[in-house]
Amino acid sequence: NSPLKNHPEAFVQQKDATMHLPVQVGDYTDFYSSIEHATNVGKMFRDPENALLPNWRHIPVGYHGRASSIVVSGTNIHRPMGQVKTNEMETPVFQASGRLDFELEMGFIVGKTTQLGERIAVENASEHIFGLVLFNDWSARDIQKWEYVPLGPFLGKSFASSMSPWIVTLEALEPFKVQGPKQDPAVLSYLQYEGAKNYDIQLEVGMSSKSSEETIISRSNFKFMYWNMMQQLAHHTVNGCNVNVGDVMASGTISGKDESSYGSLLEISWGGKKPFELKDGSKRTFIEDNDTITLKGFAEKEGVRVGFGEVTGTILPSK
């Protein structure tokens, strides 16, 4: 019974609307919670027989990212510059990243503030999570490789992350809860949980260029995550770290078990060794200038479908 139903001129089409970030992001934390992704990266850069570091199955590994460079879907990203050192170089050089990548992630928005010294119990964590968004944590692999030892990602990540303009609440996602993977060895008591804490959310990644229409390069699912959101938030605050309304926590790259479900070009091209084709026949290993990456997601069960829309971004040359 809307009073505007007979006045279609009052409605603005989405294509004519300007999308904004759905929250003013205060702090941003990125996790590393897909065992398939972590294993693939470990195989590429470390011992394939011991791909996971000793702590990985015991804690939801994460790092504090840069909130100021989180941008809304549709924002163009300039190729980052930084120090790069390949195995063939004796000393690093300053240049534009040549191994620019996306990361297929989901993020959750904190909806309830805590005080310094307070811990969020895993069984109460959902009360502090307002909802979920699609998230692309762009990554400059060559910059990151040179800088990340010993303190982790810095310039290789902080240049930009893209977020969808729509938040889907946990209440809306209740029908899509599923059991997560078995965690072995058993986790410590503060990380133990009961019931279904993962979510069956179907995800896909498309890549296009100036000369090629979109090619779907990955189809994955949020349900694959080894560490769930409740464990991530419980671990984040177990030392007494406080969280605020609007804080963003990203899942880390979401990869499945087979190549069609890998959540980054690092894995899809296996470190640049396996080029893949776009629809126009051009080949890629990493993102080139004027390429566009689009992440999409939805949950569907028994005729009920909840969509996340998309998060998209085009890479422009360095400034």
pLDDT of residue 11: 52
| Structural domain includes residue 57 | yes
| Integer Cα distance of 86 and 108 in angstroms | 35
What's the mean per-residue pLDDT of the chain? 95
pLDDT of residue 4: 45
Give per-residue pLDDT as tens, 246-290: 999 999 999 999 999 999 999 999 999 999 999 999 999 999 999
Residue 139 has pLDDT above 80, yes or no: yes
Residue 12 has pLDDT above 90, yes or no: no
Here the CATH number for the domain that contains residue 199 is 3.90.850.10
Residue 7 has pLDDT above 60, yes or no: no
Structural domain harbouring 65? 22-316
| Structural domain includes residue 115 | yes
pLDDT of residue 46: 86
| Structural domain includes residue 176 | yes
| Integer Cα distance of 243 and 25 in angstroms | 12
Q: Which of 7, 37, 64, 235 is catalytic?
A: 37
| Structural domain includes residue 70 | yes
| Structural domain includes residue 2 | no
> How many domains is the chain built from?
1
Give per-residue pLDDT as tens, 92-107: 999 999 999 999 999 9
Give per-residue pLDDT as tens, 185-195: 999 999 999 99
| Integer Cα distance of 176 and 77 in angstroms | 33
Helices (H), the chain: 35-45, 141-147, 155-158, 229-237, 265-268
| Structural domain includes residue 64 | yes
| Structural domain includes residue 12 | no
236 is catalytic: no
| Structural domain includes residue 4 | no
pLDDT of residue 14: 61
